[in-house]
Structure 1
Amino acid sequence: MVKKVIYISFICKHHIGVRKKIEEQVNEWRNTGIEVLVVNDLCGYGAIIKYLYRYYTFIKFFLFRCSSDSFVYIRQTVSLPLFGVFSRLRKYSYEVNADISKEASTLSIFQKILFLLFKDSLLKNADKVFFVTEELKSRYQNSSKFNYVFPNCLKKLGSKKKLPRGRDIVFVGNENQKWQGVDIFYEFVKALPMFNFHVVGNISRPLNFNCHNIVFHGILDGTDYFNLMSEMDFAIGTLAFYRSGLSEGSALKVRDYVAFDLPIVAGYFDTDFSASPFYLTVSTNPLDLDIEKIQDFFLQWERKSIHDYLDKANFCKNRESLRVQLICC
Structure 2
Amino acid sequence: MKQGKTKVFGKRFTRMKRNYQLYLFVLPMLVYLIIFKYIPMYGVQIAFKDFNPISGIWGSEWIGFEHFTRFFRSSEIGLILKNTILINVFNLVIGFPVPIMLALMLNQLINVRFKKFVQTVIYAPHFISTVVIVGMLQVFLSPRSGVVNTVVKALGFEPIFFMAMPELFKGLYVFSEIWQNAGWGTIVYIAALASTSPELHESALVDGASKFQRIRYIDIPGIMPTAIILLILESGRMMSLGFEKVYLMQNNLNRGASEVISTYVYKVGITQADFSYATAVGLFEAVVSFIILMSVNQFAKKVSNTSLW
* TM-score normalised to structure 1 length: 0.22
Instruction: Considering Cα pairs closer than 8 Å and 6+ residues apart, tell me whether 1 or 2 has the greater RCO.
Output: 2
- Which one has the bigger strand percentage? 1
* TM-score normalised to structure 2 length: 0.23
